[in-house]
Amino acid sequence: MSARAAASPQAWCTFRLAEGHYGVELARVQEVLRPLPLTRVPLAPPAIAGLVNLRGRIVTVVDPRVVLGVEAAPAASGGLVVVHGTEGPVALRVDAIGDVRRADATAPPPALAGSTADGDRDAISHTIALPGQLLSILDLDRVLARAFATDVPAIRPAAGEPRS
Longest dimension (CA), the chain: 49
103: burial class by Cβ within 10 Å (0-12, 13-18, 19+)? Answer: middle
In the prediction, which pLDDT does 25 show? 93
Q: Per-domain residue ranges for the chain?
A: 3-148
In the prediction, which pLDDT does 150 show? 72
Nearest to 120 by CA among 146, 83, 81: 146
Residues 86-115, mean pLDDT to the nearest whole number: 75
For 64, the 3-state DSSP assignment is helix
pLDDT top residue among 124 and 75: 124
C-beta atoms surrounding 18 within 10 Å: 13
Please give the CATH architecture assigned to the domain spanning 3-148.
Beta Barrel (2.40)
Distance of CA 28 to the CA centre of its chain: 12
**pLDDT of 43-74, one tens digit each?**
999 999 999 999 999 999 999 999 998 887 66
Distance, CA of 88 to CA of 139 (rounded, Å): 17
Residue 140 above 90 pLDDT?
Answer: yes
